[in-house]
A and B are shown apart, each in its own frame.
Chain A
Amino acid sequence: DSGVTQTPKHLITATGQRVTLRCSPRSGDLSVYWYQQSLDQGLQFLIQYYNGEERAKGNILERFSAQQFPDLHSELNLSSLELGDSALYFCASSLGTSGSLITGELFFGEGSRLTVL
């Protein structure tokens, strides 16, 4: 058990809809990351928050947004969903920044599988 909790585990919705994915990081971790895993695309970095503030942005669409709350949990909001948004969305957390061998180890949740029909 990594200590990172993601909900929901599975979600099926229709095109044009909006969904929210939730992540609770490991206790004490300040950084939260969101990754998207699509078929044959590996883990694509979307966005990172550190102690409530956006720290880094990757290949995140404008239709997607995220935030980290004072209790450090994070939410990823996906709107105007398209078929191509169907993927496994992972949340990960780390104590510090990812570059550090000491504090940068990423602990992943089990993912939220989104299916857009």
Chain B
Amino acid sequence: KDQVFQPSTVASSEGAVVEIFCNHSVSNAYNFFWYLHFPGCAPRLLVKGSKPSQQGRYNMTYERFSSSLLILQVREADAAVYYCAVCEGNTPLVFGKGTRLSVIA
């Protein structure tokens, strides 16, 4: 059953701020994890936490059951799949189905 929800696609223009929203229904999950995946490469962690945080051009907002990943000054090279994940206690991460970002020059 789906527990982590995120849009399947998001489109943005180059230079804009793009927001990818995620929400979950996992009752005891408190931490969000945002992963970036370029096809053919290993998914890698962008930002994580249980409070708003920033790593370079990546901002993470935080609410108890939702989070948004904001990518500042988006570039064509940012076109990839972004995964949101949460975990309940020490259980393995539950991932959403991923959001494919397309960037229009």
A contacts, CB < 8 Å to B: 2, 4, 33, 35, 40-45, 48, 56, 58, 90, 97-101, 104-111
Contact = CB atoms under 8 A, between A and B. Distances in A.
Interface of B: 8, 31, 33, 35, 40-45, 48-50, 83, 85, 87-98
Given A42-B95, A99-B31, A104 B87 contact: yes
B98 A97 contact: no
B91 A56 contact: yes
Q: Interface of chain A, helix or strand or loop or mixed?
A: loop
Contacts of B33: 105-106
Contact of B41 (A41, A99, A105, A110): A110
B42 A41 contact: no
Contacts of B31: 99, 101
